[in-house]
């Protein structure tokens, strides 16, 4: 394309963004904006789908199982809205999923940690979904229309997920000494990985600056991480849990909690495929695709039959 026309289109595109006018699938967009969205939205979709796996543990009662199943079903739905939003950018769902299975694309680091006890399900709901909401509420105002609209419904459901997790952990903290110890142990293991969900520190985040300019992201990784810490510390205190960070302290002059250094080596190891459960998670997804082959074939045959009749 002629450079003058390209410059004009890019200028008009940025003006629309600056006026908070949503970008829709058929609008002109820079190729790098489209690629950034495909990367972020598909990673987000994969995270929802892989994120169902750690919750496949036994629940302690029928009521707990029913609530957990509803939550996990919501996550499947979130994955599907997000794959649909990715498809509006001109890529196929099949290819996107194949990229996940081939290890070519990422999904949230948090889902590469094991769930060992029932309290872990509470910690996931409270901390992981709590972190997810902090990151996702601003995405309801992201500049790409289909992503923003998907996020509205997702956030409503995430807030129920966070509450179910907090309820599990709070109830354990009202229980026996063993139950309290189980809750504390889950929080000890999930606290730091939850802080890592927000991504690398701003200094090391290669995409943030451009994504903020395009209003894909509304806050930086460190801003959201701080907001999460500030919201979560009082919730831990209220039910008598200790967060595993000796440096955690209210800083009156900043009006925020200070917290300790994140182990970024661990983060990059997990993101790079070497976390405790990376291999297991991808194998489970590949198996699910293979096991579901006959269902897809039957659904396609049924659709074809109805087309010709």
Binding site for ligand BYC (CB under 6 A): 39-40, 43-44, 47-48, 51, 75, 106, 108-109, 128-129, 132, 135, 196-200, 205-208, 211, 217, 221, 271
Q: How far is the CB of 85 from ligand BYC (least distance, A)?
A: 12
Cα→Cα distances 267→169, 220, 228, 277, 283, Å:
25, 18, 18, 13, 21
Q: Rank residues 206 and 305 by Cβ distance to ligand BYC and give the closer one.
A: 206
Q: How far is the CB of 5 from ligand BYC (least distance, A)?
A: 29
End-to-end CA distance of the chain: 46
Q: How far is the CB of 246 from ligand BYC (least distance, A)?
A: 24
Helices (H), the chain: 3-18, 31-50, 62-87, 93-101, 118-123, 129-136, 145-173, 177-196, 208-213, 221-238, 264-269, 278-291, 293-308
| CB atoms inside a 10 Å sphere around CB 45 | 25
| CB atoms inside a 10 Å sphere around CB 226 | 19
> What values do phi and psi take at 90, rounded to 5?
95, 20
Q: Rank residues 43 and 117 by Cβ distance to ligand BYC and give the closer one.
A: 43
Whole-number Å distance between alpha carbons of 224 and 256: 12
Which residue's C-beta sits nearest to ligand BYC?
51
Q: Rank residues 9 and 91 by Cβ distance to ligand BYC and give the closer one.
A: 91
Q: Rank residues 9 and 99 by Cβ distance to ligand BYC and give the closer one.
A: 99
Q: How far is the CB of 185 from ligand BYC (least distance, A)?
A: 20
Q: How far is the CB of 288 from ligand BYC (least distance, A)?
A: 15
Q: Rank residues 32 and 253 by Cβ distance to ligand BYC and give the closer one.
A: 32
Q: Rank residues 78 and 233 by Cβ distance to ligand BYC and give the closer one.
A: 78
Secondary structure class of 263 (helix, strand, coil):
coil
Cα→Cα distances 189→127, 129, 242, 271, Å:
11, 15, 12, 17
Secondary structure class of 118 (helix, strand, coil):
helix
Q: Rank residues 181 and 280 by Cβ distance to ligand BYC and give the closer one.
A: 280
Q: How far is the CB of 300 from ligand BYC (least distance, A)?
A: 28
Q: How far is the CB of 189 from ligand BYC (least distance, A)?
A: 16
Whole-number Å distance between alpha carbons of 162 and 81: 20
């Amino acid at each position: 394309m002629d450079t003058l026309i390209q410059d004009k289109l890019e200028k008009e595109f940025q003006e629309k963004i600056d006026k908070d006018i949503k970008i829709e699938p058929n609008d002109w967009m820079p190729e790098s904006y489209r690629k950034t969205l495909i990367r972020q939205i598909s990673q987000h979709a994969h995270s929802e789908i892989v994120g169902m796996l750690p919750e496949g543990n036994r629940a302690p009662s029928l009521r707990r199982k029913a609530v957990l199943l509803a939550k996990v079903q919501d996550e499947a739905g979130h994955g599907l809205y997000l794959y649909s939003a990715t498809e509006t950018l001109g890529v196929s769902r099949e290819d996107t999923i194949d990229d996940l299975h081939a290890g070519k694309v990422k999904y949230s680091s948090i889902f590469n940690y094991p769930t060992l006890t029932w309290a872990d399900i509470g910690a996931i709901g409270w901390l992981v979904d709590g972190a997810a909401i902090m990151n996702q509420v601003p995405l309801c105002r992201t500049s790409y229309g289909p992503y923003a609209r998907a996020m509205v419904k997702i956030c409503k459901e995430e807030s129920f997920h966070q509450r179910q997790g907090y309820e599990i952990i709070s109830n354990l903290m009202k229980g026996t000494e063993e139950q309290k110890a189980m809750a504390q142990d889950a929080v000890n293991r999930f606290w730091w990985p939850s802080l890592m969900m927000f991504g690398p520190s701003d200094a090391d985040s290669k995409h943030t600056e451009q994504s903020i300019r395009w209003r894909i992201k509304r806050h930086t990784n460190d801003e959201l991480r701080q907001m999460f810490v500030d919201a979560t510390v009082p919730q831990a205190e209220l039910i008598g849990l200790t967060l595993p960070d000796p440096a955690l302290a209210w800083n009156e002059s900043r009006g925020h909690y200070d917290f300790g250094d994140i182990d970024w080596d661990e983060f990059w190891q997990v993101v790079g495929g070497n976390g405790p459960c990376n291999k297991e998670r991808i194998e489970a997804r590949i198996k699910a695709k293979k096991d579901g082959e006959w269902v897809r074939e039957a659904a396609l045959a049924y659709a074809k039959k109805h087309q010709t009749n």
